[in-house]
A and B are shown apart, each in its own frame.
Chain A
Amino acid sequence: MTTTSHNNPSVSSLDTASHEADNILEVRGVHAYYGSTCALRSIDLDVKANQVYAFIGPSGCGKSTFLRCFNRMNDFITDFKIEGSIKYRNTNIYHTDVDPVLVRRHIGMVFQKPNPLPTSIYNNVAWGPKINGFKVDFDELVETSLKKAALWDQVKERLTDNGYHLSGGQQQRLCIARAIAMNPDVILMDEPCSALDPISARKIEELIVDLKKDYSILIVTHNMQQAARLSHHTVFMLKGEIIEHGPTHNLFATPQQSLTKEYITGKFG
């Protein structure tokens, strides 16, 4: 494993001393481009393990782009380019020797719209572990994953049903169960509640509160209350830059930047 980032070694060696050991992700000098348009500009961020990070900011400010950098989901966009480094447990995931497929085994993702695979509930959960050659008791894995996602009681009688026969909120929990089954370290969530009704959204929120014991969670949300309720840290972004980030309570109570204050008080966005 490489310990220094190949893109920006000076930065990481400089910072190493001041880092606490529990940083699971370290973003250094990230710039991202779609073709020639810059979507992310000089991003630096430390993500501590077992904490929830909320990303807020107006539409188009680059939250999804940023989130998708963490599991190299942007690799599929033909003219996407990224500079800088993102280290996961001290390995730069953008290092040339790193296989993005392996990155995604450690860093799971839940999407805005529930996207179960067109197969049974059981197979939806077991699919990832199976193709990745997990040697486990799949029945047990499916059960524990669905239990963690607070879905087990509703689906235990109908595991062979198609995932699409569930309600929207249940589908989203199935997608979370699916991510959990891979036993990831980090779960990325891009507006996981925005396609759901308030009650289902609330249940997903409660679930996230439960999950933060075991996982680091990075969540994009448009809902300021949700960010305040859920997260330890909040990151406010604007036009591809991080304007301000810090403990959620501080950021909402005493924002340091006037732009942050304007945004969270609803002056724009």
Chain B
Amino acid sequence: MVHGEELGLASESKSVAVGDALPHQGGSPGCDGLSSVSLFSSTDKHYRLAKWEQRVVMVVLRICAWCSIAITAGIVVILLSEAAPFFKEVSWRDFLFGTQWVPLFEPRSFGVLPIIWGTLLVSVGACFVSVPFGLGIAIFLSEFARPRTRSFLKPLIELLAGIPSVVFGYFALITITPGLQKIFPNIEVFNAFSASIVVGIMTVPMISSLSDDALRAVPRSLREAGYAMGATSFEVSLRVVLPAAISGVIASIILAFSRAIGETMAVTLAAGATPKLTMNFFESIQTMTAYIVQVSIGDTPHGSIEYHSLFAVALVLFLLTLVMNTIAGWVLKKTQISYN
């Protein structure tokens, strides 16, 4: 009997905790009389408690959701309002299409193209590292690695993502660049090449991890279809699984690219601060993020044009990553096939 009451109690508290709005089944011994009397009545105290609880949780969740939207909106409003004074002095045409970025010395010039170019140069360069390595690792992990290999390799690679980016920048400056200088003597101390390599390494886990997930989500039936037609495991992974997972793979590459665009410390340390429209990876360049660092840590007077230029540049950066992420989402949606 004691046992039975315990059972009843347990099922009672469980149904409240889960927020189950249904009244108790007659079978549970603890509340037999109660539930049969008030089967559909809202005066049932458990029902009311559950209902009330649900309402509270819903409100909390809703507040959380609106908070994140409000914060994003707040950032955009601040960016816009702080960038407005800048655009009073510099026309947006000169800003967007000018090819000279000389913000700190007279005669000043605020053509943003060189630092957009710097950003893209490093980001695209990084892709040359992150895409082959990330994709190779993903294919190896999902298709060829034994479960045991996989279970320690994947966390190990994801650990890369946890290393602070300043460490990567430092690594580029004191290890990669000197190494490169041995091969290419004419490379500058600060250069886009080592920045690309290091940002590439940083974004490898993003591609390998997300692509691995995408590859593993490809149903077994498709792999079997390939094998049943006399394909080798290599052909199956490259010509069945990879095409089937292509949407997730492309999305992971775009996300890694947009992460590279936003990357700050590593490129500031490795690539230097010389805004330049160049194709030469051996020269020093400046990215948008590196410019923001440069001005932020300097003693720029509040309210000066340099100060406001920060927000104009940040606005461009924000829009660029927004566009990339939107494209990633769009690609995912457009190319995704449901396999059922």
Interface residues of chain A, those whose CB is within 8 Å of chain B, are 71, 73, 76, 101-102, 104-105, 108-109, 111, 113, 115-119, 127-128, 131-132, 162, 164, 175, 178-179, 182
Contacts and interface: CB of A to CB of B under 8 A. Distances in A.
A5 B222 CA distance: 32
A37 B175 CA distance: 56
A73 B233 CA distance: 12
B232 interface: yes
Interface stretch (B19-27, B95-103, B236-244): B236-244
Contacts of B243: 117-119
A108 B227 contact: no
Given A104-B227, A113-B221, A131 B244 contact: no
Given A73-B224, A118-B222, A128-B229, 12 more contacts: A76-B223, A102-B230, A104-B230, A116-B225, A117-B244, A118-B337, A119-B243, A128-B230, A131-B239, A162-B337, A182-B229, A182-B230
B229 A108 contact: yes
Contact of A128 (B222, B223, B231, B337): B231
Chain A CB within 10 A, most for which of B227, B239, B339: B227
A104 to B, nearest CB: 4
A119 B221 CA distance: 15
Nearest to A165: B337
B6 interface: no
Contacts of B230: 101-102, 104-105, 128, 131-132, 182
Contacts of A164: 337, 339
Contacts of A175: 225
Interface of B: 219, 221-232, 235, 239-240, 243-244, 337, 339
A111 B235 contact: no
A227 B228 CA distance: 24
A115 B232 contact: no
Given A117-B244, A118-B222, A71 B228 contact: yes
A121 to B, nearest CB: 14
20 contacts: A73-B227, A76-B223, A102-B230, A104-B227, A111-B221, A111-B224, A111-B228, A115-B219, A115-B222, A115-B224, A115-B225, A117-B222, A118-B244, A128-B231, A131-B230, A131-B231, A131-B239, A164-B337, A178-B225, A182-B230
Given A104-B230, A117-B240, A128-B230, A111 B337 contact: no
A215 B264 CA distance: 64
Of residues B222, B224, B228, which shows the largest number of chain A Cβ atoms within 10 Å of its Cβ?
Answer: B228
B235 A108 contact: no
A179 B221 contact: no
A163 B266 CA distance: 46
Q: Nearest 4 pairs between A and B by C-beta? A: A128-B229, A105-B230, A115-B221, A109-B228
B228 A108 contact: yes
Most buried by B among A117, A179, A182: A117
